[in-house]
Amino acid sequence: MQEKIIILDFGSQYTQLIGRRVRELNVYSEIHPFHHLPEIDDSVKGIVLSGSPFSVLSKDAPPFDFDAYRGKLPILGVCYGAQLMAHQLGGRVAPSNTREYGRANLMRVNSAHELMHGIADQSQVWMSHGDTIQSLPTSAELIASTEDIDVAAFHLQGEETFGIQFHPEVYHSTDGKQLLQNFVVNICGCAQNWTPKAFAQNTIEELKQTVGKDKVVLGLSGGVDSTVAAILLHKAIGTQLHCIFVDNGLLRKNEFESVLEQYQHLGLNIKGVNAKQRFYAALKEVTDPELKRKAIGKTFIEVFDDEAHLVKDVSWLGQGTIYPDVIESVSATGGPSATIKSHHNVGGLPDFMKLKVIEPLKLLFKDEVRRVGRSLGLDENLLGRHPFPGPGLGIRILGEVTEEKVRILQEVDHVFVEGLKKEGLYDDVWQAGAMLLPVQSVGVMGDERTYEQAVALRAVSSTDGMTADWCHLPYAFLGKVSNQIINQVRGVNRVVYDISSKPPATIEWE
């Protein structure tokens, strides 16, 4: 039975980061909404309570029954979780006159305490709170403060229950990983045996048991996610897996042919399907981003259904859905955080399809998928490919999608991505691409006035797609690429570079 840490989501934007940081310690974690706590069995080694946009003083503040778990499992409350603990167990929480947002430094750290082992005074932490804990429950001991607040960390004596006002999961908390290791490994006693290799082995066995002798249809995209999902299924059920690679007319330049060849070298049972015109027809006169995503997703489903009918007795639809897809689509597994956008490969299937869904990677972040792929022996060139959205160029063309617009964007994207490779910048970028803007601008070419398309280049650094920063590409490179695009791509006369981070922007423009 795989040991795990349960993370309860009270709606914090950082909840998923807690899950990632725990997994970086080679310990499995699961995120659940605060009002749907899973069954607690021997595999659960501890509980972490996330932050929240709510105040514990609000009448609709999300609750937690501490008495049901205190003394039975180690509990760590983070920010809101710590305030909720203090508020419900006899302490006092109130709005603060000295609120803290951003960086702060710990003071009066009890580094001899098991939770604070290896953490010293002046350790930088990240704060984000308007209320503060003004007094602790009678059984609590203070184990850290900051310059502005007295209670930065505390422990309920006689039990393994802890509260911290700061966020150890974010990059800016310099000793955050150490604190989480103290809790997860030293206090909860987790064995740190959840590795990519172990995940692959367990998943292959689970797939064998789940699928049995049934057949599976899987849509391949050429990206890391669907490829790793296919290899896991292939190792589990062999030729029972029928892969379909659809040319939706929204792929990168020459991608359909090159990816088909690559997959055949992997020994997969794969069929290429040209469905370009079907997708273009579905997208005609559609301009709203959500409606475009839904039209593309619906058409994918229809194509898979048609192809599935050509495979006798197929029972399952395999997908390369990963965790960020799920949490951005279903509001952090049902918790109170906000939905950002829908994903074409997330959610239920129409009744007519009659296929069950199997998603081997739905609990993994992008970096974890790559590590699993590496443990399976996949080529580094494939694992190093930048992520590419499921709806493809359809959501990088702002406004209506047409075949001519796709041609323009394919050429622009090709110049940009190949340029990154030639200049040795590709591996420094997490994801890169181009956006075709719904505007035209005046230009001058050969002493003649032009009125043509504007494009935006986008390159970001990230680890999992949950947060991202724009890449500081060299000016000389951007100038060279801009010049190549304008000279080589008919229909474009202006190039801009996107310097927005996520948040507040998203990686894609739609």
Q: Which of 3, 79, 328, 343 is catalytic?
A: 79
- Please report, for residues 296, 393, 396, the alpha-carbon distance to residue 299 in angstroms, rounded to integers and kept in the order given: 5, 15, 18
The H or E element spanning position 246 is strand 241-247
Q: How many CB atoms lie within 10 A of CB 329?
A: 17
- Please report, for residues 242, 308, 324, 462, the alpha-carbon distance to residue 358 in angstroms, rounded to integers and kept in the order given: 13, 15, 17, 27
The C-alpha atoms of residue 416 and residue 435 are separated, in whole angstroms, by 11
Half-sphere exposure in the Cβ direction for 366 (13 Å, CA): 21
Closest alpha carbon to 218 in 276, 264, 258, 270? 270
The C-alpha atoms of residue 234 and residue 241 are separated, in whole angstroms, by 6
Which phi and psi (to 5°) does residue 145 adopt?
Answer: -135, 180
Closest alpha carbon to 182 in 71, 6, 22, 73? 22
Helix (H, G, I), strand (E, B) or coil at 260: helix
Using a 10 angstrom Cβ sphere, with 0-12 exposed, 13-18 middle and 19 or more buried, the burial of residue 402 is middle
The C-alpha atoms of residue 333 and residue 441 are separated, in whole angstroms, by 43
Determine whether 167 is an active site residue. yes
360 in Cβ contact with 229 (< 8 Å): yes
- Please report, for residues 2, 4, 18, 73, 453, the alpha-carbon distance to residue 41 in angstroms, rounded to integers and kept in the order given: 11, 10, 21, 11, 59
Q: How many CB atoms lie within 10 A of CB 419?
A: 20
Q: How many CB atoms lie within 10 A of CB 53?
A: 14
Q: Which of 169, 307, 359, 411 is catalytic?
A: 169
The region, left, alpha or beta by phi > 0 then psi within -120 to 50, assigned to residue 373 is: alpha
The C-alpha atoms of residue 453 and residue 404 are separated, in whole angstroms, by 12
Q: Which of 129, 155, 167, 242 is catalytic?
A: 167
The C-alpha atoms of residue 42 and residue 193 are separated, in whole angstroms, by 16
- The three-point CA angle 177-179-185 to 5° equals 90
360 in Cβ contact with 233 (< 8 Å): yes
Determine whether 79 is an active site residue. yes
Bridging pattern class, strands 140-146 and 92-107: antiparallel
Determine whether 87 is an active site residue. no
Active site residues: 79, 167, 169
